[in-house]
């Protein structure tokens, strides 16, 4: 009987995107443990932000609307991620919670994968529905990402962390939109 070494191969970027969108906790664990996935995670966030901007184009307006909504999506994600780290490690830690910002940022970056579908919001007849669906799906992905990265034993704690972070981040987005967004007449 020969000794064969087992080689574990990391999933490809596309497999990680699909797994993250499918809410596969094993993908989030893999990404959390892989420091080389940081650039991939940030790419997902940037692409998702651009997709949100393009999707918001369905609301009317020109290139400025795409840029504005893309930037707001990016800033909102960053605020949400920072808030979830602070909330999850300081205010709502579990018994086994130990994380660093990079682990959480990687998992949260991949949790932005459902936001890529926001690009379909560029079709005016479905803009609002697509953008809402993208956000709700991203919240669900964030719950899985937070549960895995913060080693929560309960999904309820992850939901509380994400929803509290979401409310605070959306407040920031609404304020930014009110200050810098187009006026509605």
Query: According to the model, what pLDDT value does residue 183 have?
Result: 65
Q: H-helix or E-strand containing 31?
A: helix 25-33
Q: Per residue in 36-54, pLDDT tens?
A: 999 999 999 999 988 988 9
In DSSP notation, 116-163 reads GGGGGGGSGGGHHHHHHHHHHHHHHHHHHHHHHHTT-S-HHHHHHHHH
State if pTM tops 0.85.
no
Query: According to the model, what pLDDT value does residue 76 have?
Result: 80
- Delimit the domains of the chain by residue range: 38-180
Provide the greatest CA pair distance for the chain. 78
- The ranges of the chain with pLDDT < 70 are 1-8, 182-185
Query: According to the model, what pLDDT value does residue 166 have?
Result: 80
């Amino acid at each position: 009987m020969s000794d064969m070494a087992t080689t574990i191969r990391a999933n490809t970027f596309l497999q990680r995107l699909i797994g993250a969108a499918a809410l596969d906790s094993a993908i989030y664990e893999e990404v959390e443990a892989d420091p080389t996935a940081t650039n991939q995670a940030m790419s997902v966030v940037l692409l998702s932000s651009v997709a949100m901007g393009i999707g918001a184009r369905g609301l009317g307006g020109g290139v400025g609307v795409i840029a504005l909504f893309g930037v707001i999506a990016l800033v909102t994600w960053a605020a949400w991620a920072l808030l979830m780290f602070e909330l999850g490690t300081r205010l709502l830690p579990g018994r086994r919670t130990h994380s660093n910002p990079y682990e959480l940022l990687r998992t949260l970056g991949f949790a932005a994968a459902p936001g890529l579908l926001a690009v379909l919001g560029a079709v005016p007849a479905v803009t609002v529905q697509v953008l809402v669906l993208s956000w709700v799906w991203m919240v669900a992905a964030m719950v899985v990402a937070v549960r895995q990265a913060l080693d929560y034993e309960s999904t309820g704690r992850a939901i509380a962390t994400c929803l509290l972070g979401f409310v605070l981040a959306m407040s920031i987005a609404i304020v930014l939109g009110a200050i810098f967004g187009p006026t509605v007449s």
